[in-house]
Amino acid sequence: MTAEERLLLHGQEHVLKRLDGLSAEEREELTVRLAAIDWEELEQWKRPLSSLERGQISPIAGLKAQEIAARREEFFRVGAEAIRAGKVAAVLLAGGQGTRLGSPAPKGMFDIGLTRPRYIFEQLISNLLSVVKETGAYVPLYIMTSEKNDGETRAFFEEHDFFGYPAEEIKFFVQDMAPSVDFEGKLLFEGRGRLALSPNGNGGWYSSMQRAGLAADMARRGVEWINVFAVDNVLQRIADPIFVGATILSGLMSGAKVVRKCDPHERVGVLCLEDGLPSVVEYYELTEEMANARLEDGTLAYSFGVILNYLFNAKRLGEIAAEKIPVHVVKKKVPYMSEGGELISPQTENGYKFETLILDMVRLMGSCLPFEVEREREFAPVKNRTGVDSVDTARELLQKNGVEL
């Protein structure tokens, strides 16, 4: 099938019209982008994933904070040994657009300091350095950026001497981009010949690492466990030896740091079992009955809120790499250029983006250990400027934990 036929088949006549009016260079660039489109995935705008497709949900057993405290030394010993043997790597997910924070720069460059600069990236590296201090070994760090923020992110790290982390232990890679479509499934453009592209969600980290040759790099280094974490939780422990040790000793294929839900309706995704496999159920998918269900010990049955800090078994990741992870079709406001050449920033949702989510990988891993951490000590996400999960709340929590701002 020719490229033209393919566009017609998928109802993209408007793209053909655009191609006609482009310079040779623009046309070349657009042709390359079009060739990379996964049409099957794009067609999913017609049938978005819905909660109706959920399997049988049941509670999952996990390690509670008290049990972790009791076995702390044992877990630490095993985890620290793995880190010293070079078996643990960390992956920082920094490809998001941070729209809620509303800063044009990459989120990690946001300064949360009060009396001196304290950048989010700096705080994360400092958290990792505390593990280096405890174990006496550096953890290789891979940083995922997107086409939109890669240059700025790399330059920022260089400018700040990698915040004291050895440069040779840090590698960057760029995540894949996905096109957006309008409500009729037509590809949106952000420029005359440029498709409206955005990062394809945080579930794309492993395939993007593979494409960049970094999954092979990890294998060469003998990495057996990968700690993947979000850019915005400034309090989290990274490559936490206790978490690593507990997951290794559990014999399971992954681990997830979780915080205990403070009330049955808190807006966090909870880890549970779905048809016997680990899965994350969003708060809006929980029925009233499930939200209030209690275990024999009186605690909420669905109380392990995920905080986007996972440990994955590298071998198992390799095995499931070929399996397709579900694509979520999400309604968004997508800025675009009209056919008349006018740039439009819509005030309401006008199209769909296609995203894969890391939480769907947990299911593919086959098994997962929920590992409870204390919210006040390990969970301070910077999502918004003010209010819930904001710069303000994160600052307060950092200070409570003795970080000078």
The residue with tokens 């020719």 is: 2
- Residue 387 region, left (φ>0) first, then alpha (ψ -120 to 50), else beta? left
Q: Does 306 bind ligand UTP (CB under 6 A)?
A: no
Query: Which of 140, 179, 199, 351 is in the footprint of ligand UTP by CB under 6 A?
Result: 199
Q: Which is nearer to ligand UTP, 214 or 301 (CB)?
A: 214
Q: Which is nearer to ligand UTP, 44 or 58 (CB)?
A: 44
Residue 249's contacts (CB-CB under 8 Å, 6 or more residues apart) are: 74, 75, 78
Q: Which is nearer to ligand UTP, 78 or 231 (CB)?
A: 231
Q: Does 140 bind ligand UTP (CB under 6 A)?
A: no
Which helix H or strand E contains 306, and what residues bound it?
strand 304-313
Binding window for ligand UTP (CB under 6 A); candidates: 80-88, 212-220, 226-234, 268-276? 226-234
Q: How far is the CB of 313 from ligand UTP (least distance, A)?
A: 21
Q: Does 99 bind ligand UTP (CB under 6 A)?
A: yes
Instruction: Give me the sign of the Cα torsion angle 295, 301, 307, 312.
Output: positive
Q: Does 351 bind ligand UTP (CB under 6 A)?
A: no
Q: Which is nearer to ligand UTP, 98 or 140 (CB)?
A: 98
349, amino acid identity:
E
Name the DSSP letter for residue 147.
Answer: T
Q: Does 123 bind ligand UTP (CB under 6 A)?
A: no
Q: How far is the CB of 19 from ligand UTP (least distance, A)?
A: 28
Q: How far is the CB of 137 from ligand UTP (least distance, A)?
A: 25
Pairwise CA distance, residues 391 & 45, whole Å: 34
Q: Does 97 bind ligand UTP (CB under 6 A)?
A: yes
Binding window for ligand UTP (CB under 6 A); candidates: 41-49, 200-208, 213-221, 318-326? 200-208
CB neighbour class for 182 (10 Å; exposed up to 12, middle 13-18, buried from 19): middle
Q: Does 94 bind ligand UTP (CB under 6 A)?
A: yes
Name the DSSP letter for residue 337.
Answer: E
Query: Which of 123, 135, 175, 254 is in the footprint of ligand UTP by CB under 6 A?
Result: 175
Query: Which of 89, 91, 112, 230 is in the footprint of ligand UTP by CB under 6 A?
Result: 230
Residue nearest to ligand UTP (CB): 96
Binding window for ligand UTP (CB under 6 A); candidates: 60-68, 79-87, 230-238, 272-280? 230-238
Pairwise CA distance, residues 194 & 391, whole Å: 34
The residue with tokens 């460059």 is: 109
Query: Which of 122, 150, 224, 232 is in the footprint of ligand UTP by CB under 6 A?
Result: 232
Segment 242-301, which members bind ligand UTP (CB under 6 A)? Answer: none
Pairwise CA distance, residues 157 & 171, whole Å: 11
Contact (CB, 8 A) for 246 and 370: no
Nearest partner of 83 among 280, 233, 248, 205, judged by Cα = 248
Name the DSSP letter for residue 299.
Answer: S
> How far are the Cα atoms of 104, 192, 253 from residue 94, in angstroms, in the given order?
14, 28, 24
The residue with tokens 């986007």 is: 308
Could you tell me how many residues of this chain bind ligand UTP (CB under 6 A)? 20
Q: Does 305 bind ligand UTP (CB under 6 A)?
A: no
Pairwise CA distance, residues 157 & 152, whole Å: 9
Q: Which is nearer to ligand UTP, 162 or 354 (CB)?
A: 354
Q: Contact residues for ligand UTP (CB under 6 A)?
A: 93-100, 107, 144, 175, 199-202, 230-232, 308, 383
